Amino acid sequence: MKIEYALLADAAQAVGGKIFVLGGGWNVFRAASYPAPVHLAIAMGLGFTSNEVGIKYPLSVVVADEAGVPIIPEMKGQVETGQLAPDFPKGASVKIPVAININMPLPHPGTYGIVVTAGSSKTQLSFEAIFAGQKVQFAPEGSLPERGN
């Protein structure tokens, strides 16, 4: 089994053997203040050979900050192809779409990494969380008027 593709999106669904993606392919998240709630999806495609059908494979997702510290608990599950239909072509590869939607708080601006492991296949995604607001401008030292108490 192999992770054939993975991308970040605003939302995703895996329905009827297809992946439906809304706002896919981004790598920058903007917020006016932190911590900030983020809603993201991981859309991915898993490829199996016909002799890998019917086996349950572990699936895990880890989201960590730039120091490698996980910001939410590791998500664990399983993926399985099920049995092939009788009319499925012999020797054809099996493709399974997977969509994982996550709501979580981002503690601070910075780089975040997402490691997805499916069976023995692993991929990594990343994004930058940046401040997107009006910053306060401070006057240079000594240029402020004196304040009395």
Q: What ranges do the domains of the chain cover?
A: 2-131
Task: Give the per-residue pLDDT at 52.
Answer: 86
DSSP string of 43-96, one letter each residue: EEEEEE-GGGTT-EEEEEEEEE-TTS-BSSPPEEEEEE--PPPTTSPTTPPEEE
pLDDT confidence tier of residue 38, bands split at 50, 70 and 90:
very high
My answer on whether omega of the bond before 35 falls inside 30° of 0, hence cis, is yes
Of 138 and 72, the one with more pLDDT: 72
Task: Give the per-residue pLDDT at 90.
Answer: 81
CATH architecture of 2-131: Sandwich (2.60)
